[in-house]
Structure 1
Amino acid sequence: MSFYKLPESLDSEIKEYEKLVKEYKAGKLAAVKMKAFRVPFGVYEQREPETYMCRIRLPGGAITPEQLTGVAEISEKYTSRPLHFTTREEVQIHHVTLEDTVSIIKELKELGLSTRGGGGNTIRNILGDGSSEVDPYIQALTSRLIAEQDSWSLPRKLKIAFSGDSSDRGLATCNDLGFIYKPSGFSVYIAGGMGAKPRVAAKLYDFVPANQVYNIAKAAKNLFDKYGNRKNKHAARLRFLFEKLGKGEFIRRFEEELTAVKKQNYPSLAIDDLPAQTKSWQDVPLFLGDLETAKAKQLAKDIESIRATPNQNLKIRRRGYISSPAQAIDPIIGRAIVCTGADTCRLGICLSRKLLSAIKDKKMGSSDKIDDIKINISGCPNSCGRHHIADIGFFGVAKRHDNRPVPCYTVVMGGVVFEGKTKIAEKAGVLPAKAIPDFVAEYLKHVKAHRKSGEPFFDYYIRQGKDEAVRLIEKYSPIPGFSENKDYYFDFGADRPFSVAEKVEGECSAGIYDLIDWDFENIKIAMANNDFRRVVLSAARALLVTKGLEPKSEAEAIVLFKQNFIGRHLDALFGGTVDKYLNNQEITLDEAKGLASAVKALYDSMDNSLKFPELNHKEVEVLRSPRGAVERDFRGVTCPMNFVKTKLVLETMQPGEILEILLDDGEPIENVPASVKAEGHKILKQEKVAGYWRVIIRKEGGN
């Protein structure tokens, strides 16, 4: 038995994947091309180079006990790591080689499971709440959509969700397309989502008959495929199209697509009636979403049915009495959601899993005042930990203090999920990572003392909780200097100071954006205080990091900005404003505001490779060594600047040309070659010479 039908094309796609893996391992295929095929196949590279993860599709979290046993046995063959259940109700096998992913995918197919669509610009796993009213629709819609070739080449990922009632435990109001069950049909929501720019879905229909589910999903996919933004992945989700077109025009175009779909007379989804259930679901909390393979196999022997849930836990129906595979943990920790963060994810900034472990160590205990509270943590702004709909949420950011990066989290609070009431959590402040466990513990003491029995958390938050959060954030936000308490400069579980580029391949820019945003935040503060010199300084410094420039003083920041931006990316008239700063002359409000606005507009025009449009285009001369290689000495340059500088040089070169760089031992040699490789270039040689490293890179095409 399987909960979805594998597409007929899967066999040929697996063969093509196997062929590309062999070509890549033989050095005949660029990394960027391999990535373009493996990511839509649900295979992601982890932070450790050449170590991969396979994400397995489970529609509505549905997996049979036999399949769970099979997945556990497959995992045991290739890794010693536990199975990991995600917030999208999938199961992942971590820390495997690329060659082994081929075998894993083949063996999963024999179980009736697939990783196809686990990543990339595809129809992602369809979410559900485990209710019998929606399970058949999730499974039938999955089988239909994954059989359609246009489901694998969308402008960006498309996420669909179903809920069995208005409590919306399946998060229909927070996805690209959502269905909430009503007798004989559904209410429908569209263009929602989380990520760095979250949006509550708009109601599309109060009610549609159940036989229209496929037509609506097909129309939404066609609309997205036709009008979605393929040029800018940061503005490519369906909700950005909604914002661009406006509600009226968006719905008009959707109705056009729906009319066209209906004319095709597609058959309705084949819905199988589920047998009536006399047993209720039992929750099985999994700390961090992890389940050891031995426990998974034992669990599968003793249950009738099982579902993964959106909070990284399991729901089971027992055959008889069985012991729970879950650890004995406080209920609030059992409900908590956390993404993998910088432990394994290439986008991760902070070690989010270790933060939750530190919070767990505070031993909150059990109380009806706190047991239902949702604590959600993401290692970066991308919301894989669903911080935007948390009661108390955190997402990782990098801040700078004492001229050093510090692992921090933005605190968000007051998220709500319920049909007609869904609300995105609001930002409450920023805390250093090391202060968060104490913040949470003290805040929950206040909740226990002041929240009324049966009171929704949001009502308590508005009544007293918001003011208490503000007070505690002010208390815990100060960061001591490095010499005073260096622990603040180490993330949880880390044995060396925090670095925004540590072990990251191709995602070094994640922390760079935080440093830029930090200066833009300083601009706002300076404007509010009428400190126009500080506005000019922050504006001038904000974008220097994109060119690999690290000013040692405020004056140097101004000089470097003038040399690298004025007359090249910004109008020469702004040179007068920065000259006033250098000459200690008075700067007016209009001058400060004008420069800050121009820099912000320039930042908004920056592309994904950290480049800006130029006022006039001049060829960049590249100095070459007698051997024909470009040479750069980046010893003494710290992360992530050394990668940024390397990237900038490579952008001036032609495919096939050689770059030789010198790097320090430690973080530079660990980070830079990995990031360069992930950009699609070839590392020809890497050798240690008298205490430093020599790295030879071949520029590959198109990067």
Structure 2
Amino acid sequence: MKPIDPQEWKQDLPAFREKTAAFYKGELKKNDYKGFSGLYGSYAQKDGKASMLRLRMTAGVVPREKVCFIAKMIREYQVKRMHFTTCQSIQLHDLNETAVCEIMEKALDAGIVTMGGGGDFPRNIMCSPLAGVEKGEYFNVQPYAKAAGDYLMHFIKAEKMPRKLKVGFSSSPANLTHATYRDLGFAAREDGKFDVYSAGGLGNNPRFGVKVAEAVEPDDILFYIRAMWLTFRTYGNYENRGKARTRYMQESLGSPEKYKEAFQEKLKEVCASGEDLKLKDLKEASTENSRKTGDETVFTGSNAIEQKQEGLYALAWHPIGGMPDPAVFCELADAMEEIEGVELRLAPYETAYIINLTGAEAERLNTIIQKDMAQSLFETSVSCIGASVCQVGLRDSQGLLRACVERVKEAGLPDGTLPQIHISGCPSSCGTHQTGALGFRGASVKVDGKLESGFVLYINGCERQEEETMGHEAGTMAEADIPEFLVALGKAVAESGEDFNTWNEKHPGGIEAVAALYLR
């Protein structure tokens, strides 16, 4: 099926401008505006005085030209806050009425679509961030992720869609995109095929996906996407927003096995329909390496990753909380503009990678990103945007992360004594708290008889394929106590002379023992 030309979405923009003007004039309530604006990838922020805009980056890929466009918008509209999201998109924040409308339209001219970025629509397609350049991957899944992303845009205005439809591709058992527990996930195999998982998801009523098919030919993935839609149309609870997610079908149909049967039934219908959904000419793209070659220069920085293309490097850039300094982003864009074959890749843990660099180019760009860079494993922790911005957010997850980073730095804990933690401001799990080694989810807690800001602690979640585990709830902490808990935990690990993972394996119940002093 032919991809939709981004220019075609321009016909929808006058309606957005009209409703946005009404909202900023006070003629439209925030909740009513939210129900409309999500289609366009935009929401009003918590205070109702500014907007955010979510730029879809299919498969987390941001070509040099798009990086430069975003930098241009940052400068032109004086954007002071941006976010790398856990769904591999880029959000611009604190936009006024003029900025949000104009950036949305100009983005289409740059090939960047915002449509379907929120609301009841297929969300940004996800993909292993280093697909095509990572040593040890089973195969390059990115061309298939992009094809799936193009196809899913045809469903933006389809009837009876789930409240969200998240689709991911993983190229190895690291399962960084959580392909085994998305609404639909394609997990690469050593034999060059996919295992397909469906009806998974985090948040309320979390579920790991059901393996609905094995050894699927990559060229057949669109049949499975259409079958997913038909399965939800037939069996999904699209009348109850609280249960309008694919994972609830595991219960409503009676069991994961019954869900698999229902999915296979719809897959047979799709295959028998005669619709031409078979992908063509992608096999070569999936095996093609970057045409760029190294120049014998070497870079040995701790955030450098050797690509499978000899002599080329990827640089990891993790701004704390996934909140890059817009000035640093713009400086990076200026430098990238002069480099052949360079590309930005977004990861589901709020890290960005700059790929296809020679050693000399990596060294040059590294001097820029080090101005805004996590300096330890703990500082690469993941946080959603939080309640200071998000309408549905309960707690300020970004504020908590900043407080924790400062306290841990002050305590002088050795790198590796604390893991990457995952913080969500509410049960929606945008910070993926349920599958982190340590996770926190916004809540309330009684302190001296009064309700105060708190977070539920989750322990020992795991995302790795075949080892997937939901962290178990250990209890609730007052927000003010969490930095001290982490310092106490880090000190316990440091005293053993081991890193966190080794200590945790040797001391089952060790985290709970330290946490017991802080739980309410």
Q: TM-score range by the shorter chain?
A: 0.7 to 0.9
1:137-174 CA-to-partner distances (Å, cap 9, x unmatched) read 11111111103354575131010111111111221122
1:12-36 CA-to-partner distances (Å, cap 9, x unmatched) read 1223322333455567666554332
SS at match of 1:408: strand
State whether structure 2 residue 433 is matched by structure 1 residue 387. yes
- After superposition, the Cα gap between the structure-2 partners of 1:255 and 1:477, relative to the gap in structure 1 and judged at 3 Å, is closer
Matches of 1:126 and 1:366 in 2, distance apart? Answer: 37
1:228-275 CA-to-partner distances (Å, cap 9, x unmatched) read 212322222101111221223212221121112112332323537164
- The answer for the alignment partner of 1:252 in structure 2 is 261
- After superposition, the Cα gap between the structure-2 partners of 1:186 and 1:366, relative to the gap in structure 1 and judged at 3 Å, is farther
Q: Is the contact made by 1:45 and 1:51 (CA closer than 8 Å) also made in structure 2? A: yes
Q: How many residues align?
A: 470
Misfit runs of 4+, over 6 Å: none
- The answer for the alignment partner of 1:276 in structure 2 is 289
State whether structure 2 residue 504 is matched by structure 1 residue 461. yes
Aligned-residue offset at 1:368: 6.6
Q: Is the contact made by 2:71 and 2:333 (CA closer than 8 Å) also made in structure 1? A: no
- After superposition, the Cα gap between the structure-2 partners of 1:477 and 1:32, relative to the gap in structure 1 and judged at 3 Å, is closer
TM-score in terms of structure 1 length:
0.63
Looking at both structures, which has the greater relative contact order when contacts are Cα pairs under 8 Å and sequence separation is at least 6? Answer: 2
Structure 2, unmatched stretches of 5+, are 133-139, 291-308, 337-341
Query: Which amino acid letter does the alignment assign opposite residue 451 of structure 2?
Result: P
Query: Which amino acid letter does the alignment assign opposite residue 274 of structure 2?
Result: Q
- The answer for the alignment partner of 2:381 in structure 1 is 336
Q: Is the contact made by 1:369 and 1:447 (CA closer than 8 Å) also made in structure 2? A: no
Structure 1, unmatched stretches of 5+, are 479-703
User: Which of 300, 305, 327 is 1:294 aligned to?
Assistant: 327
Matches of 2:519 and 2:30 in 1, distance apart? Answer: 41
- After superposition, the Cα gap between the structure-2 partners of 1:70 and 1:196, relative to the gap in structure 1 and judged at 3 Å, is same
Matches of 2:440 and 2:171 in 1, distance apart? Answer: 28
Q: Is the contact made by 1:129 and 1:309 (CA closer than 8 Å) also made in structure 2? A: yes
Query: Which amino acid letter does the alignment assign opposite residue 246 of structure 2?
Result: L
- The answer for the alignment partner of 1:176 in structure 2 is 183
Give matches, 1:230-379, under 5 Å: 230-245=238-253, 246-262=255-271, 263-270=273-280, 271=282, 273=285, 275-277=288-290, 278=309, 279-303=312-336, 304-317=342-355, 318=357, 320=361, 321-322=363-364, 323-326=367-370, 327-361=372-406, 362-363=408-409, 367=414, 369-370=416-417, 373-379=419-425
Q: Is the contact made by 1:284 and 1:315 (CA closer than 8 Å) also made in structure 2? A: yes
Aligned-residue offset at 1:337: 0.1
Pairwise CA RMSD: 2.4
- After superposition, the Cα gap between the structure-2 partners of 1:22 and 1:474, relative to the gap in structure 1 and judged at 3 Å, is closer
Q: Is the contact made by 2:328 and 2:368 (CA closer than 8 Å) also made in structure 1? A: no
1:620-679 CA-to-partner distances (Å, cap 9, x unmatched) read xxxxxxxxxxxxxxxxxxxxxxxxxxxxxxxxxxxxxxxxxxxxxxxxxxxxxxxxxxxx
Percent identical among aligned pairs is 25
Query: Which amino acid letter does the alignment assign opposite residue 385 of structure 2?
Result: T
Aligned-residue offset at 1:332: 2.1
Query: Which amino acid letter does the alignment assign opposite residue 187 of structure 2?
Result: I
SS at match of 2:330: helix
SS at match of 1:203: strand
- After superposition, the Cα gap between the structure-2 partners of 1:56 and 1:151, relative to the gap in structure 1 and judged at 3 Å, is farther
1:531-567 CA-to-partner distances (Å, cap 9, x unmatched) read xxxxxxxxxxxxxxxxxxxxxxxxxxxxxxxxxxxxx
Query: Which amino acid letter does the alignment assign opposite residue 148 of structure 1?
Result: F
- The answer for the alignment partner of 1:441 in structure 2 is 487
User: Which of 146, 151, 158 is 2:153 aligned to?
Assistant: 146
TM-score in terms of structure 2 length:
0.84
Matches of 2:395 and 2:26 in 1, distance apart? Answer: 33
Q: Is the contact made by 1:163 and 1:172 (CA closer than 8 Å) also made in structure 2? A: yes
1:262-294 CA-to-partner distances (Å, cap 9, x unmatched) read 123323235371641322322111111112233
SS at match of 1:161: strand
Q: Which has the larger radius of gyration?
A: 1
Give matches, 1:82-101, under 5 Å: 82-101=81-100
Matches of 2:16 and 2:373 in 1, distance apart? Answer: 42
Matches of 2:263 and 2:150 in 1, distance apart? Answer: 23
Matches of 1:348 and 1:28 in 2, distance apart? Answer: 24
SS at match of 2:169: strand
